[in-house]
Chain A
Amino acid sequence: LAKTTQPISMDSYEGQEVNITCSHNNIATNDYITWYQQFPSQGPRFIIQGYKTKVTNEVASLFIPADRKSSTLSLPRVSLSDTAVYYCLVGVPIKAAGNKLTFGGGTRVLVKP
């Protein structure tokens, strides 16, 4: 499984855009990049998944450069309720090979008023 590296923590202010970059230098050809959000005392929640270029949904955008050795999760105009830990995961999707995803330490994002 590809190892991921992401910042331990980030601070931001309400209304700002937050960008979290994850490094995954050893990503394999079949690996996807998935991001989860976790609030205190709750289970992680799926945010977004992508393979290359850009993916956008109602919550976030995911930017993946051509070499796929890194990815950036972008949260537009954050609010206090976006304060959470964000996990970057790299691996083969479950349905492709039954492989598990490995959660690293995550990035603790604190949104200030």
Chain B
Amino acid sequence: EAQVTQNPRYLITVTGKKLTVTCSQNMNHEYMSWYRQDPGLGLRQIYYSMNVEVTDKGDVPEGYKVSRKEKRNFPLILESPSPNQTSLYFCASTPLTGADYGYTFGSGTRLTVV
């Protein structure tokens, strides 16, 4: 089944403890992106990647890092999480060639930083 898989689904951590949220897609999509969703603010893009080894900042990149060493994986790294990073995170991907069917989103990761 074509999908974007995020792990973990839920995570509670403490301030300052480094964490990684993994994202993997099995559709050979070139473009991948991370969003966070907060009440009243909609979805905001954190980082995106056009292809392997190519990443760029979105609207709210502060406090986050990403890497794209392989086409299928796009992990989101929080080096020193803070409570204001408590949010619902979504990974998404889309092909850059062929028909346009928009983004495919993962099921989300609900992160709580205490």
Closest to A42 in B: B107
Instruction: Establish whether residues A46 and B101, one from each chain, have CB atoms under 8 Å apart when the complex forms.
Output: yes
Instruction: Establish whether residues B50 and A98, one from each chain, have CB atoms under 8 Å apart when the complex forms.
Output: yes
Known: A41-B108, A43-B90. A100 touches B100 (CB 8 A): no
Residue of A34, A46, A49, A87 with most partner-chain B CB within 10 A: A46
Q: Mark B87-114, 1 if CB is under 8 A from A, else 0.
A: 0101010111100111111111010000
**For this complex, into which size category does the number of interface residues on chain B fall?**
20 to 34
Decide if the interface of chain B is mainly helix, strand, loop or mixed: strand
User: A105 CA to B40 CA in the complex, in Å?
Assistant: 7
Instruction: Establish whether residues A100 and B45, one from each chain, have CB atoms under 8 Å apart when the complex forms.
Output: yes
Instruction: Establish whether residues B43 and A103, one from each chain, have CB atoms under 8 Å apart when the complex forms.
Output: yes
The residues in B between 56 and 88 inclusive whose CB is less than 8 angstroms from any CB of A are 58-59, 88
Instruction: Establish whether residues B31 and A98, one from each chain, have CB atoms under 8 Å apart when the complex forms.
Output: yes
User: A87 CA to B80 CA in the complex, in Å?
Assistant: 32
Residues of A within 8 A of B106 (CB): 43
A45 interface hit (Cβ, 8 Å): yes
Closest to A104 in B: B42
Q: Can you sample 7 A-B contacts with CB below 8 Å?
A: A41-B107, A42-B105, A43-B92, A43-B105, A95-B97, A100-B58, A105-B40
Query: A residues engaging B (CB < 8 A)?
Result: 34, 36, 41-46, 49, 87, 93-95, 98, 100-106
The 9 residue pairs across chains A and B that have the minimum distance between CB atoms: A43-B105, A46-B102, A103-B43, A95-B96, A103-B42, A43-B90, A105-B42, A100-B45, A94-B94
